[in-house]
Chain A
Amino acid sequence: MRPHPVLALVAANLRRHSRDRVGLFFIVVMPFVSIIFVGMALGGGTAASRLPVGVVAQGSDPVAAAVLTELRAHPDLEITTVGDKEELRAGVREGSLAAGLVIPPGSTRFELVMTQSNGSGMAARSAVDVAVGKVAAVLEATRAATSAGATPAEAAALVRKAQDASADVEVVNSDTASGTPRGFAYTAPANLLLFTFINSMAVAAALAESRRIGMLQRAFTAPVRRGAVLFGEALSRFLVAAAQAVLIMVVSSLLFGVSWGEPLGVATVVGVFALVSTGAAILMGSLVRSSAQPSAIGPPLGIVLGMLGGCLWPSEAAGDVLNAIGRLFPHAWGMDALLTLSRPGTGLGDVLLDVAVLALMAAALLSLSLVLFSRRTRTL
């Protein structure tokens, strides 16, 4: 395949998009307006933010009291005592609580309540794990001292001594754990998916226009293989989608301190999502009759899919039914993958299912759209 026709199509299409002022506004300005306002509404994004965690502590045994003391002492948690388990679940589902902890009376088996593995929930879980771990360590140390023959008083003294010594051991670098901007960490990936998809659908207008004015049919009369023209059109749309995603990632990292996670994993997720958007754009450009239709249909469709996929509000606020429906569309899988990757210590291996589903969706959409596009441009 000669590179000339593909490059010619890509250069012409990108030049056309660069001259569309309304389109540029939606690509360059609008995502960041959305990230800022929704991010602030969802909880700021400063290091001082504390995660709201609900606790159901039935009874008053020493273990429950010790865990509560540890949780309240945690600098990143805002502990609220909740009456019962149902109330706790409702709070988590509605998003007023990042996570919940049920401490049954007389038991050391606690129940953690989270509806989704989102950034807030995972951060809360991490903090709860630390607090519970500390109490477990004290219990274990006491048990060990008693087993070694110490009286309860001696054991308590030994444990206190060990606790004092352990206070000297601290994690000096705690940037990731305590400084993660919660609000923007959510709205940046959400708007990346939302605007990558919406703007891809909007640029389908140019594709529909090329079809309408006979530009593509004319291109087929040049010494160019049909596949080269189709590839050039697809690549143009992919580059717009990828550029939108990269712009949001770079600006949100620099301005809002958003940590996106392992680069390979993020690049893979963003790449397959851009392919999904490309397929949707070509499908739209093939189906519509006028260039005005993609601009009218694309944004509402993108917003609805974004709602179902947890891009407009945290999915724990949507309920199980809507979340299940959302799984039929790419946004939910993309959101799941990006939020997982934003957690420290995660990588591509943790989002393989999401990537596989997105890749399947991309393959299906691209195949269908390119076949349809090829047929439509053949009609004279």
Chain B
Amino acid sequence: MTNTLNCENLSKKYGDVVAVADVGFTIAPGEAYGLLGPNGAGKTTTISMLVGLLKPDTGTVVVGGTDLATDPMAAKAKIGYVPQEIALYPDLTGRENLRFFGRLFGLPRKELRGRIDEVLDLVGLADRADAKLDTYSGGMKRRINIGAALLHRPELLILDEPTVGVDPQSRKAILDGVERLVADGMALLYTSHYMEEVERICHRVAIIDHGAIVAEGTRHELVELVGGADRIELTLDGDVETAIAKLRGVGGVTEAARTAAGSVRLIAEGGRYLLPAIIATVDGIATVTAVEVVEPDLEATFLHLTGSTLRD
């Protein structure tokens, strides 16, 4: 089967700073591919090269068999791009915004009318279509933001953080809709800070750090990378930095770091059985006020590979 997206050896430098180095991956029709990385890892630069906003220094992007460099118009027509920000006119209605994007993609007037109604149904906003966008909730704006990328029935949908700042009801509607599109055969490139969304939607995931892909595979394959290690979250009261230093010396603990929330995160082989030793290690340095043990997941893998959490 021909891949919907083939990108190879993508690189981009800004002066001496390497933003993306030799990134390459493929996405098949009906496949959802997650791109995970901490802030500044190179996700946005990679996506910008995929949608034609940035010219790569090296590498190729082929969408639906069309090379983006040699025939950008045809390649772009196969991509639906949903940026992280709400890139819509706030003083136009939802329908008018969709009409604008439909016309940008060159849809004939008659066809466009029908496509707008279909998309409004898909994102569940048919009843608010003629209200101005600045009267919409954050979640409704996000849904129209996605809808604007679906009007021309793209082969590849690129969603950059599509659920940031939305209420649970809208998030569910967005994720359900995205899953339906993938089930219907659309290829999806998805980035999110919400690991549970990536675990739910994506068939394969790439972890990108310092501009390069450090791991790629299915959820199961990535989790295998950290072996049977558990993730342990400790809430400490006392000299946390000294406690972290001591914890790194506990046998079986492979990672120990402080999270943005202030807790201490450990990756440890058979972690649940190490709890007595862990508590004894910090005794006298800090008081353990809460403990949580999580079995291996993408979050643990991400921490293991990048040394930071997605929300850092």
Establish whether residues B92 and A12, one from each chain, have CB atoms under 8 Å apart when the complex forms. yes
Stretch among B22-30, B49-57, B302-310 lining the A interface? B49-57
Establish whether residues B103 and A7, one from each chain, have CB atoms under 8 Å apart when the complex forms. yes
- Per the bound structure, the CA–CA distance linking A372 and B91 in Å amounts to 26
Q: How large is the interface on A (under 10, 10 to 19, 20 to 34, 35 or more residues)?
A: 20 to 34
Contact A215 to B48, CB < 8 A, known contacts A8-B103, A221-B76, A222-B104: no
**What 0/1 pattern do residues 42 to 80 of B give for CB contact below 8 A with A?**
001100100111100000000000000000111011010
- Per the bound structure, the CA–CA distance linking A225 and B72 in Å amounts to 9
Judge if A96 is at the interface, Cβ distance under 8 Å: no
- Per the bound structure, the CA–CA distance linking A220 and B53 in Å amounts to 7
Establish whether residues A380 and B53, one from each chain, have CB atoms under 8 Å apart when the complex forms. yes
Q: Which of B87, B88, B91 contacts A217 (CB 8 A)?
A: B87
- Per the bound structure, the CA–CA distance linking A58 and B211 in Å amounts to 90
**What 0/1 pattern do residues 1 to 33 of A give for CB contact below 8 A with B?**
010110111011001100110000000000000
Q: Which of B81-96 contact A (CB under 8 A)?
A: 81, 83, 85-92, 96
The distance from the CB of B17 to the nearest CB of chain A, in whole angstroms, is: 14
Judge if B106 is at the interface, Cβ distance under 8 Å: yes
Establish whether residues B87 and A222, one from each chain, have CB atoms under 8 Å apart when the complex forms. no
Establish whether residues A12 and B105, one from each chain, have CB atoms under 8 Å apart when the complex forms. no
Judge if B100 is at the interface, Cβ distance under 8 Å: yes
Q: Which of A214, A221, A378 contacts B79 (CB 8 A)?
A: A221
- Per the bound structure, the CA–CA distance linking A128 and B240 in Å amounts to 97
Establish whether residues A4 and B104, one from each chain, have CB atoms under 8 Å apart when the complex forms. yes
The distance from the CB of B7 to the nearest CB of chain A, in whole angstroms, is: 16
**What 0/1 pattern do residues 247 to 282 of A give for CB contact below 8 A with B?**
000000000000000000000000000000000000
Establish whether residues A218 and B83, one from each chain, have CB atoms under 8 Å apart when the complex forms. yes
Establish whether residues B83 and A214, one from each chain, have CB atoms under 8 Å apart when the complex forms. yes
Establish whether residues A19 and B76, one from each chain, have CB atoms under 8 Å apart when the complex forms. no
Q: Which residue of A lies closest to B44 (CB)?
A: A380
Contact A12 to B96, CB < 8 A, known contacts A220-B52, A223-B73, A380-B54: yes
Q: Which residue of A lies closest to B85 (CB)?
A: A214
Q: Which residue of B lies closest to A210 (CB)?
A: B89
Judge if A148 is at the interface, Cβ distance under 8 Å: no
Establish whether residues B92 and A218, one from each chain, have CB atoms under 8 Å apart when the complex forms. no
Contact A15 to B96, CB < 8 A, known contacts A219-B104, A221-B76, A380-B53: yes
Q: Which of A179-223 contact B (CB under 8 A)?
A: 210, 213-215, 217-223
- Per the bound structure, the CA–CA distance linking A7 and B73 in Å amounts to 18
Q: Which of A11, A218, A378, A380 contacts B81 (CB 8 A)?
A: A218
Complex A-B, nearest 8 residue pairs according to Cβ-Cβ distance, in ascending order? A8-B103, A218-B87, A222-B104, A214-B87, A223-B76, A223-B73, A223-B77, A221-B51
Q: A8-B100, A380-B48 are in contact. List 15 more A-B contacts (CB 8 A).
A: A4-B103, A7-B103, A213-B87, A214-B83, A214-B85, A214-B87, A219-B104, A220-B53, A221-B52, A221-B81, A222-B76, A223-B72, A223-B105, A223-B106, A225-B73
